[in-house]
Amino acid sequence: MENKIIIPTSAIRDEGTSYHYIEKEDEIAAEISSINIATQCLEKHDIPYILGKIWTTDGIYRETSNLIKRRKEQGCLAVDMECSASLAIAKFRNIPIIQFLFGADNLDAVLWEKRDLTDYGFQSANKYILLALELAVEFGKEEHK
């Protein structure tokens, strides 16, 4: 997944916010139409990406090796802190949402490989800001058809 954008197709709900908005289920799916807009935009700009499940947790620094192993067995590609809550709020409000992630830290190594987007240079950070804006434009076009 290094140097690839991650497009969440679903998220395991291991946080508290999403449960205030939708029924209790362990996992929430992203809307196919949003995934399609995101992948078309990335392909248009030759940006490598991967589709997959995300593990969302609000337990800061609680990604234990046992939990990481279990989530990988469940098919998770990455861990974040907002994906499932954002999907739940969008579902509750009946509004569309597009999410994309860029994996920085590696929690899967023997030792924590702490990285930050700025480690890849300011140019890299700019690229992802521009990508977010491009996705917003494409999303807006689709919504107004």
Residue with tokens 């609680």: 62
CATH of domain 5-140: 3.40.50.1580
Distance CA 88, CA 83 (A): 9
Element (H, E) at 68: helix 65-73
The answer to whether residues 28 and 87 touch, using CB atoms and an 8 Å cutoff, is yes
Q: Domain spans of the chain?
A: 5-140
pLDDT 10s per residue in the chain (145 long)?
A: 667 889 999 999 999 999 999 999 999 999 999 999 999 999 998 888 999 999 999 988 788 889 989 999 999 999 999 999 999 999 999 999 999 998 766 666 666 666 655 555 556 667 788 889 999 998 888 776 6
DSSP code for 67: H
Predicted confidence at residue 120, as pLDDT, reads: 53
Sign of the CA dihedral running 51, 106, 85, 37: negative
Predicted model pTM: 0.85
Position 126 scores a pLDDT of: 78
